[in-house]
Amino acid sequence: MSNKIDIEDIAKLFKSEFNTFKQELKIELNKSIEERLQKNKEEIVKEVSKSLEQANNKIEELKLEVATLKANLEETVKEKETEKELNDIKSRRNNIIIGNIKEQVGENVPEVVISFIKDTLKVPTTVADLNYAKRLGRQSNSAEKSRPILFSFVSLLQKQKILDNKKLIEGSLYYIKGDYTYKQRTKRAELIKVKKNLKQEGKKVDLRQGKLIVEALSGAGSRTTQNVDIQKRNRSSDDSEFPEAELKKQKNKKDKLLKSNKTDKVINLSEVFKDT
């Protein structure tokens, strides 16, 4: 009987110890697994953070490259446009437009121009002085409407003689003007508005080579002249009727941008990409 009790007690004790060991082992295993998972999680987070940082750095580098390319492209386009404008201006430099000369069927336009210049403007002119002469635009069905005549002189001096004698047709139906590009015509329209306003203010104003010249009395009573900055009076106007200076300004701006990109990789990307 005693042996049987002892065996039962030992079995119970063994079972109890085994359960305790199993529970402790389970706890230890869970703890180990949790520690390992936590360690792995930290390592994963660290690796992901490092990868994201590298990716962000690469993105910033690409943005900088794109910004530089975009700026260079814009400057190149501006330079090409300015060069084209400059060439257009040069091609028109010796040209003049005369309006309201009666148009006849089958007329010889160069002869019409020469006769007008000699008889009305009192400037000796021959066919040899002209590069070409032609009517502008489509011919009207109305006999009352005459197309303006565009003609080009071989010599700029001959053109200047015509402009000097333009006063001879003041008050008549005729008009004489230069052959301007679209940009020049746009700016001149703005200048003419400013000129009109200045005249209403009682000032003597003249429009010369894309600039307004204002005559004013100095303190001593003598007349002085000054250029009017249309940018201050009208912010929508272009920089220059003759774009040589604008072309140089754009080149200096481009060189400065390239230099800054070589020495300093940090730029205001939010400004560059605000419209993209």
Where helices occur in 93-164 by DSSP H, the ranges are 109-119, 156-164
What pLDDT, on the 0 to 100 scale, is given for residue 240?
Answer: 41
Structure tokens given for 252: 């200096």
Handedness of CA 99, 102, 105, 107 (dihedral sign): negative
- What averages of pLDDT result for each successive group of 10 residues across the chain (276 residues)? 63 75 78 79 83 89 90 89 90 93 91 94 93 89 84 92 91 91 88 87 80 66 52 41 54 60 42 40
Contact by Cβ (8 Å): 82, 243: yes
What pLDDT, on the 0 to 100 scale, is given for residue 229?
Answer: 53
Torsion, CA 102, CA 155, CA 188, CA 148, rounded to 10: 10
> Which residues, in sequence order, are bridge partners of residue 228?
212
What pLDDT, on the 0 to 100 scale, is given for residue 111?
Answer: 94
pTM given for the model: 0.54
Question: Residue 237 and residue 195: Cα distance in Å, rounded?
Answer: 14
Question: Residue 166 and residue 96: Cα distance in Å, rounded?
Answer: 11
Longest dimension (CA), the chain: 157
Question: Residue 12 and residue 177: Cα distance in Å, rounded?
Answer: 122
Question: Residue 168 and residue 103: Cα distance in Å, rounded?
Answer: 21
What pLDDT, on the 0 to 100 scale, is given for residue 235?
Answer: 38
Question: Residue 130 and residue 139: Cα distance in Å, rounded?
Answer: 23
> Which residues, in sequence order, are bridge partners of residue 224?
216
